[in-house]
Structure 1
Amino acid sequence: MEKEPQKENLQVLWQKFQSGDEDAFFEIYQENHSQLFNYALRLSSNEELSRDCIHDMFLELWEKKGKLKSLENFKPYLFKFLRNILIDKIKEHHRMTGESNGQELDLVISHEDFLIGKEYKEFHAQKVSEALKALSPRQKEVVYLKFYSNLIYKEIAEVSQINYQSVRNLVSESLKKMKEFLLFLVFLLIF
């Protein structure tokens, strides 16, 4: 029952923004900027590009505020919007520099995401990080969105532009692959 008022508040905030309320726009920016920046940084590994894309996204949002549709939850929309801008900027860079644009975005899950402080936890964090490196870029992305950004499968499907069942399959395959990798490491440590 607690989620309904929060959901309603988000809808009201979005409606105020669409009506041109600068305070609502600033609140949307403040509430989402750091998560969006972390997501962009993990996709691009480039702070400047991440900042530029977020700036462009919010600028474009403000310019199109009256034309945007009403949303129950705008957070997945922001992630998807940012992802598309980031992909466009990377493609543009590839065209300008002549580099191959066949490369996927590679989500970089940093080791410090897992470090909590003590040696015991550091050891486990290192192993999880190694397991994440074994994942494909798409698998890393859905794992990040699911477990670090706390998006639900439907929202992940919207952000990553793949269907719902594919998201569920990717998360499941990713966790299975990580589990197998970690079990292999445990086996190596024992023997």
Structure 2
Amino acid sequence: MKLTGVNEETLWNNVIAGDQQAFRVLYEASADMLYAYALRYFPDREMIMDCIHDLFTDLYLQRRNLARQVNIRFYLLVSFRRKLNASLKKNARFSFQADMSQAESYFQLTFEANDAQSRIIAKEEQQGALHRLAAEMNKLPARQKEILYLKYNCELSYEEVARLMQISVPTCRTLAYRAIRQLRQDMPVTTMPAFGLLLLTCLKNF
């Protein structure tokens, strides 16, 4: 979610006040993030878009009841996750995924390189290492992948990730540590000096 040149607190207060331009800015800045997050659970694009539209409709209708001091990204993800959960329970096409707790086991990451990444990691062997890291990351347990995605791609704190996934903060930190440790073990020794940069670049491109 990118709000370049926009003060988030001011934007949120304007949304609460009913400013339609602020509401439009919020939608345009966050819809892609929410869509990408949901798509990692299931491929029903129509259902995902319906949930996004329902979320923002409710947000507008209930704007006077919104708390003023919030992390916008975290608030939207938590609310959106509830919408997805409710939709899954109603949707017969996803009877094998009765709710988000079961859908979590299907969490997938899809890596896409971009120009910025190419400028950061220029050497061909490092490009190869980046794709190798992406492949190894998809071998991790689903919950570990989701924690890394929320922490580094969505830029949530461990406390926020834990609340979103309904786990304790120590458990969240432990799962993240295990994921990174496993990735270090699975990557070639030659990539270790640049492992931190590779990991951050890889996560930013999911």
| TM-score normalised per structure 1 | 0.78
Q: Does the 8 A contact of 1:114 with 1:122 survive in 2?
A: no
Pair 1:132–1:63, CA change in 2 (3 A): same
Q: Deviations over 1:41-97 (max 9, x none)?
A: 22323332322221111111111111122223221010111122112222222xx35
Q: Secondary structure at the match of 2:77?
A: helix
Query: Tell me, which stretches of 5 or more residues in structure 1 are unaligned?
Result: 1-5, 187-191
Partner of 2:198: none
Report the counterpart of residue 100 of structure 1 in structure 2.
Answer: 96
Structure 2 counterpart of 1:189? none
Equivalent residue number for residue 32 of structure 1: 30
SS at 2:67's partner residue?
A: coil
Structure 2 CA distance for partners of 1:131 and 1:50, relative to 1, 3 Å: same
Write the deviation string for residues 10-29 of structure 1: whole angstroms up to 9, x where unpaired.
22221221121111211211
**Does residue 69 in structure 1 map to residue 67 in structure 2?**
yes
Is 1:112 the counterpart of 2:112? The answer is yes
Code of the aligned partner of 1:180: Q
Contact map agreement 1:114 1:126 (CA 8 A) in 2? no
1-side partners of 2:170 and 2:113: how far apart? 27
Aligned residue pairs total 178
Partner of 2:148: 143
Matched, 1:91 2:89: yes
Which residue number corresponds to residue 44 of structure 1?
42
Give the letter aligned to residue 104 of structure 1.
A
CA distance in 2, matches of 1:100, 1:50: 17
Q: Which moved more, 1:23-32 or 1:158-167?
A: 158-167
Identical counterparts, % of pairs: 27
- Verify the 8 A CA contact 1:77 1:159 in the aligned structure 2: no
Equivalent pair of 1:76/1:155 in contact (CA under 8 Å): yes
Structure 2 runs not aligned, ≥5 long: 192-206
Preserved CA contact (<8 Å) 2:89 2:95: no
Q: Is the 8 A contact 1:43 1:108 kept in 2?
A: yes
Task: Please report the RMSD computed on the Cα atoms of aligned residues, expressed in angstroms.
Answer: 2.8
Rate the CA distance shift 1:72–1:111 in 2: closer, same or farther, 3 A.
closer
TM-score by length of 2: 0.73
3-state SS, counterpart of residue 43 of structure 1: coil
- Determine if the alignment matches structure 1 residue 131 to structure 2 residue 129: no
3-state SS of paired residue (1:35):
helix
Contact 1:41 1:47 in 2 (8 A): yes
Change (3 A) 1:98 1:138: closer
